[in-house]
Structure 1
């Protein structure tokens, strides 16, 4: 979601929404910035007390997001993580598993999942996207805005029960 065209949440469009934030623990400084950005976006939208769940890493995000989405206790989930490329294929496997898993959660449950998983070559790139002081981007905030905007859109769509 870099550049222009970031989602904008219309005032009142997300009133009463319940949101869960699932965040990895690896890369503590980066994750702190991502979580802070998500919480700021939720507070600005009038959702001051989201459920926040921590998991070990980005690989574990889909299972926790699925549990939240299926619980009926949330209308949207924000998934936050950071995967930094190393010298092995581990990066590719974790990035693919997180991406496919979170997509599957959203499609299968109908609960929007904001994708705030950084996939970076270096720690410096992750820090620059984490929403920290001096960061160029705030992906935690942006992923939350995307989840909220999608939840607002889904509220307006007709529902057919088969």
Structure 2
């Protein structure tokens, strides 16, 4: 597990951003940790009343993220987990989620937090879920990245200096 090289930054005030989370439903314990991490980030960054939408699985994240982005949310955080099995399903779902969320970000010029864990084992997912004893908190990290990006996009769209 890496974690090395992560940026160190202080939370910024994001109380005026419209923020949504779209979260998969598979792997309850991991998803609970990712959602709790996102909420910790929202608290630190002063996000008020984020909307949380649940979807069946990781494959469904991009279409709902696109619908939220189309409703003028400043940031959409996508949370999910895919654990490798014995079939190519892992590769297809990971690719579809990654490509789809990238497309949403580019098509809508919306900050998308990529909190999709793509792991070989359930233990790897638990280690990244921000649970007690986890080594990383990807829900927090994805939310933080989306919030900072949303503020950056806002400045860029206003002419950067504004």
Normalised by the length of structure 2, the TM-score is 0.92
CA positional deviation for 1:11? 2.9
Q: Which runs of 5+ in 2 are unaligned?
A: none
Deviations 1:12-62 (A, max 9, x none): 3x2300100000000000000000000110111111410000000000000
Q: Does 1:120 align with 2:119?
A: yes
Match of 1:59 in 2: 59
Q: Which runs of 5+ in 1 are unaligned?
A: none
Give the corresponding residue for 2:9: 8
CA RMSD, 1 decimal: 1.5
- Would you say how many aligned residue pairs link Structure 1 and Structure 2? 158
1:127-154 residue CA offsets vs partner (Å, 9 max, x unmatched): 0000000000000000001001101111
Tell me, yes or no, if the aligned pair for 2:12 and 2:148 is still in contact at 8 Å. Answer: no
Query: Equivalent residues in 2 for 1:1-162 (5 A)?
Result: 2-6=3-7, 8=9, 10-12=11-13, 14-72=14-72, 74-158=73-157
Q: CA deviation at 1:87?
A: 0.1
Partners of 2:149 and 2:10 in 1: how far apart? 9
* Counterparts of 2:8 and 2:59, CA distance in 1: 26
4+ runs deviating over 4 angstroms:
none
